[in-house]
Amino acid sequence: MNDVQHNNALAFSARVLGALFYFAPNSTLAEPLVTAFTDGEWVTQWPYEVPHANTLSAGFASPAEESLAEAWQRLFIGPDALPSPPWGSVWLDRESVLFGDSTLALRQWMRENQIAFDVQQNEPEDHFGTLLMLAAWLVENGREEACNQLLAWHLLPWAPRFLAEFIEKANHPFFIALGQLAQQTLAQWQRTLLIPVADKKLYR
């Protein structure tokens, strides 16, 4: 895979995964993606080799007692405690709080790199889906070095733990499959990074 193919693959996969982790499944942005995954169309379009793709496809298409919208609400909104919170500071900060030191470090990095990223009011910027979409935006705008820094310093240090717990506790076949696809995809990205992933202590 040459540089252009790599950049296109990363941007495409980051944008798709980011949207599915961030937006409600019945939203304008996520609904067409949900359809592509439940119909199995994604297999031929995914830019990376996917081990056990048939198993993942079966998971995306499997029926469940809980609707996809209900599962998304439970996993990402509440009102109960989230099984695997999607914000980096929950995993990186000693007190497992939102808007912790790791969020402030991300904000500082964004200022230094002149990155302005719109998020919902009073929501941390270090949401897993938000960071994926930011990675896609950076690559699409020719900022590969900044994307590598974002991944190595602010996403990959905690994402594997988040995804492992997300898969274990998702309790819905679509989101289990989504977590597994994200695991495989982020592992592909890490193998191509030009800088080492930061070694950060996790508190959850």
For the segment 86-104, what is each residue's pLDDT rounded down to a tens digit?
A: 999 999 999 888 999 999 9
Answer yes or no: are the C-beta atoms of 116 and 147 closer than 8 Å: no
pLDDT, residue 59, reads 95
| % of the chain at pLDDT higher than 70 | 99
pLDDT, residue 119, reads 64
Share the mean pLDDT of the chain. Answer: 94
Cα distance between residue 141 and residue 198, in whole Å? 24
* Mean pLDDT value of segment 51-70: 93
For the segment 138-172, what is each residue's pLDDT rounded down to a tens digit?
A: 999 999 999 999 999 999 999 999 999 999 999 99
pLDDT, residue 123, reads 82
For the segment 22-57, what is each residue's pLDDT rounded down to a tens digit?
A: 999 999 999 999 999 999 989 999 999 998 899 999
pLDDT, residue 34, reads 97
Is residue 43 exposed (0-12), middle (13-18) or buried (19+ Cβ within 10 Å)? middle
Q: Is the pTM of this model over 0.85?
A: yes
Helices then strands (H, E): number in the chain?
A: 11, 0
Cα distance between residue 57 and residue 43, in whole Å? 8
Cα distance between residue 63 and residue 81, in whole Å? 25
